[in-house]
Structure 1
Amino acid sequence: MNAALPNHSLPLGNTRSIGDILIAAGRLKPEDLQRILDAQQIEKLSFGEAAIALNALSKADIDFALSKQFDYAYMVEGQDPFNPQLVAACKPFSRVSENLRAVRSQLMLRWFNSDALRKVMTVVSAGKGDGRSFIAANLAIVFAQQGQRTLLIDGDLRADAQHSQQALFNLEKGVGLSGILAGRATLDVAQPVAALPGLTVLTAGAQPPNPQELLGRTAFAQVLRDASLQFDVILIDTPSGGDYSDGEIIAARAGAALMVARRNETLVPEAKELGARLQDSGVALVGSVLNDA
């Protein structure tokens, strides 16, 4: 699979009506369409309001149709690859997804702008269970939904397969970042996410015996340079900063970091210490996210 030159161009719009979209998707019976249109005209309601009032459609059906009309990619339950942790993809209209979009807006203002050198950001945290991978994955999704050519790199070369971005996105096993850093592959091994146009994931790959040494090689800097030529936004997941210095090495290459903390779990002194070490290394600490899930 070649992802080095992926086709990230998104559709320009869908001119079909909500009714046509839902009939084609098997969510609306043709005989119910006229009932909805009649009620819409008589009661002066929107199509969605009339359909829900008649119990002909659910809000989920309306959300699905609107996403098709406005080219807003998301996954529905039962669609491969579905994972409930990918909230921005499977529940794009939820409070959590709205919060993620707010974070995206702040990151666009503070870091990702017209500067060609500001395309890469590391997601870090001090503790193991703070939710770095969750935040990194969902931020990558909302950036892709905005139309940004987005690359999510799994830089946690220590995690087992079930706690990796590969598992979250249900991607193929194979060569990933570790293989590239070992000289056995190129960025071509990154995998586009079919259900989410604009999003590509570079998995961690096989667990190496020397992750810190691999990340410290100039090959990693070259990966980021190559990726910056092809993508608008590059987010990098990392292992716990309290256990390993991998995240600091990655952040130093990226130039910027987003700190993740979990409510009632993250130890404030450890988070402050990690933030200080990053800033001492010249890393721009762009912001922080409080994960209360």
Structure 2
Amino acid sequence: MHAVESIISKIATTEALASMGALLLDAGKISVSDAERIVIFQKQNGMRFGEAAKALGLINDDDIQKVLSQQFDFPCLMANEDSFSRELVAAYQPFSAQVEALRAVRGQLMLRWFINVHKTLALVSPSRGEGRSCMAANLAIIFSQLGERTLLIDADLRQPRQHGLFKLLGAYGLSDILAGRTDLTAVTRIPAFRDLSVLPAGTVPPNPAELISRGLKNCLQQLQSQFDVILIDTPSAEQGIDAQIITSNCGGALLVARQHKTRLNDLQLLKEALQDTGSQCFGVVLTDF
């Protein structure tokens, strides 16, 4: 009888280690004896393996997050990695309430915009400092986590931010493509997220509106055959007509407003200006940072 119980215990232990436990062992986070302690504690307290290991002080939240990302093939970064800006919460805190809210936005976009013939969407805001660039970057990350071939274009040729958020060092970008100085090889793959690419703004030109007017449409047509989702960061509307030109070339916009900062009248005027170009306004996302 004791031999049977011993075999059953070993089978249970093996099954528990087959997923999270095995990954923690492989990473050197726990030992075999630790694993046995965890399984016993897990059974006694009706907890999950990771919860039990954390309760025993053997691992921390970062360890659990890394293992979960491996188990579910869900790319994310650990808190001690500095590959990107900390503003990219979708990369560093993928299970936070803030990122869950972004996933809700992604879900609506998938159901109501990208499910049809649309592949491109501009993110537009009335003024600077309303979170548009950060929103675009984080949305791009969570679309790529869904397995969508995602491209983030920094079309803010006045005060670009995406190269800083993703810590890109290349000199060429969208402006250089539009000026004929380079080609689509300026698109940069982001290895940490296998389905994410970024096209930075490139050289800041003296004539951004003119560059966008004459070349963006053709550039987008070429890129649409390579990607499922293309998100475009734009200059704020207060900086010129660029956002209207960009939106008219991609067909639709997601408006970004900041709580306690963006004026409702400014938002309404922007919506009307975009609609006058024949573009659709998908909706408004309110940031509260």
TM-score under structure 2 length normalisation: 0.90
- The equivalent residue for 1:276 is 272
In the TM superposition, what whole-angstrom CA distance separates every residue of 1:222-255 from its partner, at most 9, and x where no partner exists? 1111111010000000111122110110000000
- The equivalent residue for 1:207 is 204
Residues 62 and 78 of structure 2 are in contact (CA less than 8 Å); yes or no, is this contact kept in structure 1?
A: no
In the TM superposition, what whole-angstrom CA distance separates every residue of 1:123-173 from its partner, at most 9, and x where no partner exists? 00001111110100000011001110000000000115xxx1011011122
Residues 76 and 82 of structure 1 are in contact (CA less than 8 Å); yes or no, is this contact kept in structure 2?
A: no
What is the CA–CA distance in structure 2 between the aligned matches of 1:75 and 1:226, rounded to whole Å? 31
What is the CA–CA distance in structure 1 between the aligned matches of 2:32 and 2:181, rounded to whole Å? 54
Matches within 5 A, 1:58-97: 58-97=60-99
Higher relative contact order (CA 8 A, sep 6+): 1
Asked if residue 168 in structure 1 is aligned to residue 165 in structure 2, the reply is yes
What is the CA–CA distance in structure 2 between the aligned matches of 1:167 and 1:29, rounded to whole Å? 40
- The equivalent residue for 1:224 is 220
Q: Give unpaired runs (5+ residues) of structure 2.
A: 1-16
In the TM superposition, what whole-angstrom CA distance separates every residue of 1:33-63 from its partner, at most 9, and x where no partner exists? 2211222234332111211221222233222
- The equivalent residue for 1:156 is 156
Name the amino acid aligned to 1:286. F
Q: Number of paired residues?
A: 273
Matches within 5 A, 1:12-91: 17-91=19-93
1:265 Cα deviation from its structure 2 partner: 0.6
What is the CA–CA distance in structure 2 between the aligned matches of 1:28 and 1:266, rounded to whole Å? 50
Name the SS for the 2:239 alignment partner.
coil
1:20 Cα deviation from its structure 2 partner: 2.1
Residues 62 and 79 of structure 2 are in contact (CA less than 8 Å); yes or no, is this contact kept in structure 1?
A: no
Name the SS for the 2:232 alignment partner.
strand
- The equivalent residue for 1:129 is 129
Q: Give unpaired runs (5+ residues) of structure 1.
A: 1-14
Name the SS for the 1:17 alignment partner.
helix
1:16 Cα deviation from its structure 2 partner: 5.7
Matches within 5 A, 1:250-269: 250-269=246-265
In the TM superposition, what whole-angstrom CA distance separates every residue of 1:165-208 from its partner, at most 9, and x where no partner exists? 01101112211000000011111211111111100000000101
Residues 130 and 258 of structure 2 are in contact (CA less than 8 Å); yes or no, is this contact kept in structure 1?
A: yes
Residues 1:245 and 1:196: Cα distance change in structure 2 (over 3 Å): same
Identity of aligned residues (%): 47
Name the amino acid aligned to 1:283. S
In the TM superposition, what whole-angstrom CA distance separates every residue of 1:93-129 from its partner, at most 9, and x where no partner exists? 111100000000011111011x3x3000000000111
Over alpha carbons, which structure has the higher Rg?
2
Question: As a proportion of its length, which structure holds more helix?
Answer: 2
Name the SS for the 1:39 alignment partner.
helix
Name the amino acid aligned to 1:99. A
What is the CA–CA distance in structure 2 between the aligned matches of 1:170 and 1:29, rounded to whole Å? 37
Residues 242 and 270 of structure 1 are in contact (CA less than 8 Å); yes or no, is this contact kept in structure 2?
A: no
- The equivalent residue for 2:4 is none
Name the amino acid aligned to 2:223. A
Correspondence for 1:109 among 104, 108, 111? 111
Correspondence for 1:235 among 219, 228, 231? 231
What is the CA–CA distance in structure 1 between the aligned matches of 2:200 and 2:183, rounded to whole Å? 12
